[in-house]
Amino acid sequence: MEIITIPVTAFAQNSRIIWCSETKHAVVIDPGGDTDKIITVLNENKLALSAIWLTHGHLDHVGGADILRNQFNVQIIGPQKDEHFWFENLPMQAQMFGFKPIEPFYPDIWLNHNDTVSVGKLSFLVKHCPGHTPGHIVFYQQENECVIVGDVIFKGSVGRTDFPKGNSEQLIESIKTHILTLPDNTKILAGHGSDTTVGFEKKTNPFVSGKFG
């Protein structure tokens, strides 16, 4: 498995290209914008884009998804269906966050807890982790010991819950149930900021280690 992280938009959102080393089939996870940068990396590495995977519906994570879908004729897969209202309200999000105007669009496939998605010979387990948003999901790759978590948890912090339908108690429950139960050496690839590990966050993250509140 190969991963290239591409920070996109003014929010420095970590869009990721993940591909199977054997087949060169790739997915783009959370293309929030700057699609020209993403396309350049795909071309430079001679990758065949198979799909676009989304962790949740916030504009800084999905803003370039429809452009890539149309250009490469691939499907948008995920998140979970409770994110529908965020896609419906993409124009409002653009106005709220200072993005260019955007029309609503929707995923081709909604995902559910314990679904499996694949690219090449790589398989990822889907975990529904509501709290930051109601339909937020994460993608866990066991063999390569990593989990792509969107805005559920960050190095030393957790996702915001002050947006519509956010829920702080639900977020902490999602983290403790579906993230911190993974092996300690599992790498956490967050939507913003640096990578971290499950073990490091269990020991040091003040929101989940018992050292805060």
Inside any domain, residue 114: yes
The residue range of the domain holding 173 is 2-204
Inside any domain, residue 69: yes
Q: How many CB atoms lie within 10 A of CB 81?
A: 13
Residue 54 belongs to domain with CATH number: 3.60.15.10
Is the separation of the CB atoms in 142 and 161 below 8 Å?
A: no
The pTM is what? 0.96
Phi-psi region of 61 (alpha: psi -120 to 50; beta: other; left: phi over 0): alpha
Average pLDDT of the chain is 96
Pick from 65, 4, 83: which is nearest to 40 by CA?
Answer: 4
Inside any domain, residue 210: no
Written as six digits, the tokens of 204 are 């040091």
Inside any domain, residue 44: yes
Integer Cα distance of 60 and 58 in angstroms: 6
pLDDT at position 213, please?
38
Inside any domain, residue 211: no
Inside any domain, residue 25: yes
Residue 43 has pLDDT above 70, yes or no: yes
Give tens-digit pLDDT for 145-204: 999 999 999 999 999 999 999 999 999 999 999 999 999 999 999 999 999 999 999 999
Inside any domain, residue 96: yes
Q: How many CB atoms lie within 10 A of CB 116?
A: 10
Confidence label for 210 from pLDDT (cuts 50, 70 and 90)? low
Q: Give the total number of structural domains in the chain.
A: 1
Inside any domain, residue 213: no
State mean pLDDT over 68-81: 98
